[in-house]
Amino acid sequence: MMKLEQEDKLNTDGVNLLVSILVCYPEIGTLNFEPINDSLKMTFVLNKMPSKKEFLLVKDMIFRSILTYHTLEGFKSNKIDIKMSSYEDVAFISFVRDMDTLSKGEIALISTLMKENFKESLVTDGNTTPAEEDGIFQEDFIDNMIGNMKLSQMATNLIGIREEGRVMVFNK
């Protein structure tokens, strides 16, 4: 019986983390927590395909920025994977990060750099921008949930998406 209660709490932490990130950062289209490799995948959606050269320049700049951030914070980076895929005229830029070194500051950094570099084509959900007080609460909550996820092993693959101003999280 105790085991079930613990698993429910872990699932709640994961769900709360994905919801909080999607609420705080409306430019992130989807999140996927993969327990097998203990990683979080953030996907940004662009309504216009960048050229391969443009993507590679931005990818390199963001990669170097993450490494610099980790150096300043005293982290050793484990997994940083940045890829672009497409479907018709829509581009999907995905960042896969290990949960051990992921932080709220890094999520904010990636989000800001994506907004600055793809401001015209980045798909954002304007309906979900939180009030300033709510945003500060959500950011603190994200820090706490990331800490909880680092301390415990969650066995459930979760996917968080946004659709028409709503945030939804599913077990995969």
What is the reported pLDDT for 6?
A: 44
Average pLDDT estimate for 22-38: 91
pTM summary value: 0.85
Average pLDDT, the chain: 83
In this prediction, residue 134 has a pLDDT band, given cuts at 50, 70 and 90, of low
What percent of the chain has a predicted confidence (pLDDT) above 70?
82
Distance CA 43, CA 31 (A): 6
What is the reported pLDDT for 68?
A: 93
Considering only CA atoms, which of 26, 45, 20 is closest in space to residue 126?
26
**pLDDT surpasses 60 at 133:** no
Q: Which amino acid is at 99?
A: M
